[in-house]
A and B are shown apart, each in its own frame.
Chain A
Amino acid sequence: MTDTLTAAPKTSTGKSLRTEEMIINMGPQHPSTHGVLRLEIVVDGEIVVDVVPHIGYLHRCFEKHCEHMTNYQQVIPYVDRMDYVCAMNNEFAYVVAAERLLKIQVPERVEFIRVIMAELQRIASHLIAVGTYGIDIGAFTPFLYCFRDREKILDLFEMTCGARLLYNYMWIGGLSHDLPPDFVPRAKEFCAYFKPKIKEFNDLLTYNEIFVKRTAMTGVLPADVGLNYACSGPMLRASGVNWDLRRDDPYSVYHKFDWEVAVGKGEMGPVGSCWDRHIVRMKEMEQSVRILEQALAQIPEGDVQSAIPKRIRPNPGEVYARTESPRGELGFYIVSDGTATPYRIKARGPGFVNLSVISEIAKGAMIADLVAIVGSIDIVLGEVDR
């Protein structure tokens, strides 16, 4: 078939000294590309002239599997495994889409618990994102601190549904288990424990002079380029676009809480740099804790399994619903033909779309910067490849 490179390597970076460009492969196995991603880099010395990402090493045929399920509920474990780092948010997106298709109204208690789980998962996912970003830049210690805090969140999840990473918890119409009696006190304890940890992390890494110098001037994504490439989530917000699906395309009960959307302001460099993306994630964690505290105080009583339909047979039709996952806009496009088997489910992964922008923002960076840029996009190959 065709070559792996799309076009002949571009000519040198325009300097008068005649240099030759080298094509390097940051191969599928590499300590810093957050998964099996292959980056073909054309370098002139240390400067990157072009980056061509090759994905598909983790393609697990999610969409084809869905077409052979006997039931819409059976898709949920598959949806978990797409972006394995934030499984609750994946399930949330899918059940929102399916409930919109089936026109099911879930009890309020279910909505509150879903929001709590989604926000806890958002914190856990951002902890991984910032921790591994620290490692990419060379600071090994913040990573361990993030994982220590993440263990507490995973303990909460294990208490509820028995699983630490892939839950199969949110079902269409309800949840698989109700909250155990000491979930709410322990979650409140966690919120109180976690708030000073964000500050500690910021002191250690975010405002560290070396870290700022490494990240604040690279990977600048202008807002209009971001919109044209349909970036979403922290990537878009760091470029100054005040857009959050939880507030602007509302779903579930987010409108009942009082919280702010974190937007990048370019405090340490141009707006839309890698540092802005990092600080947006840190601020989002603070806001998630705020939402958590409010939600924990207001959970109504009810039965979480009352609205789960016994037989799911939607009318023929289609729906596209999207929610805010830690990486951006996770959307599900479901087409139903009237039978119990889904006809077509397409998952629009935020990582897939955010990664396509790398060839724009990495031009002219150095190889060390390229690692920083890929780390700041925060991709999880599970949802890029599905």
Chain B
Amino acid sequence: MTFQEIASRLSERFGTVPGIGLEPKPENPVDPYLKVSAEHILEVAKYLRDDEETQFDYLSCLSGVDLKGSLAVVYNLFSMTKRHKLTLRVEVPVANPTVQSVESIWKTANWHEREAFDLFGINFAGHPDLRRILLPYDWEGHPLRKDYQVPEYYNGMKVPY
């Protein structure tokens, strides 16, 4: 299925749900993506995985992006059986970055969401074990944000040298 077909199938199913925020962006070079709102990503993900026409059973990559002013979570989905792909994007404000966790749909999201939390500070509601993964457990700050300042001291050691 092409991007347009998937987008129209989704808007058929979810178009009437309030606050769903479905916005296809087909004109984006190179990969078109589909925006979804943060509170509904779980339902949309479940539908995309279970529906026989789409069958997105493989979550290739889940990344955080800092668009200055808001944080985004990008999901790269793929279907092993149907061989089509889709990119979803959820944008949240920096002040309250909360997104529903899709860990219950694709278990691989467990570690990817921990990484997004670690590096960007995005909170995933419903994640069973949200803690830092790459940085030490008591690190302060979220490094991949564009406005990140390297701290002076960490546990008494001078950081920038």
Contact = CB atoms under 8 A, between A and B. Distances in A.
A319 B87 CA distance: 10
A320 B143 contact: no
Contacts of A356: 107-108, 110-111
B106 A333 contact: no
B76 A331 contact: yes
Interface stretch (A58-66, A187-195, A270-278): A58-66
A1 B138 contact: yes
B58 interface: yes
Given A56-B134, A59-B134, A248-B83, A230 B29 contact: no
B109 to A, nearest CB: 9
B9 to A, nearest CB: 21
Nearest to A61: B143
Interface stretch (B16-24, B60-68, B90-98): B60-68
Interface residues of A, number: 41
B59 A318 contact: no
B131 to A, nearest CB: 5
B137 interface: yes
Nearest to A230: B108
Nearest to B114: A356
Given A333-B74, A353-B108, A64 B30 contact: no
A307 interface: no
A210 interface: no
B32 to A, nearest CB: 10
A23 interface: no
A64 B143 CA distance: 8
A101 B30 CA distance: 6
Interface stretch (A74-82, A86-94, A155-163, A344-352): A344-352
Main secondary structure of the interface of B (DSSP, over half): loop
Contacts of B1: none
A2 B31 contact: no
A61 B141 CA distance: 14
A318 B61 contact: no
B119 to A, nearest CB: 7
B137 A1 contact: yes
Interface of B: 28-31, 33, 57-61, 63, 65-66, 74, 76, 80, 83, 87, 106-108, 110-112, 115, 119, 128-129, 131-138, 143-144
What are the 8 tightest A-B residue pairs by CB atom distance, in nearest-first order? A317-B29, A230-B108, A346-B63, A56-B134, A348-B61, A319-B30, A59-B134, A356-B111
Interface of A: 1-2, 4, 6, 55-56, 59, 61, 63-64, 100-101, 103, 225, 227-230, 241, 243, 248-249, 315-320, 322, 329, 331, 333, 335, 344, 346, 348, 352-353, 356, 385-386
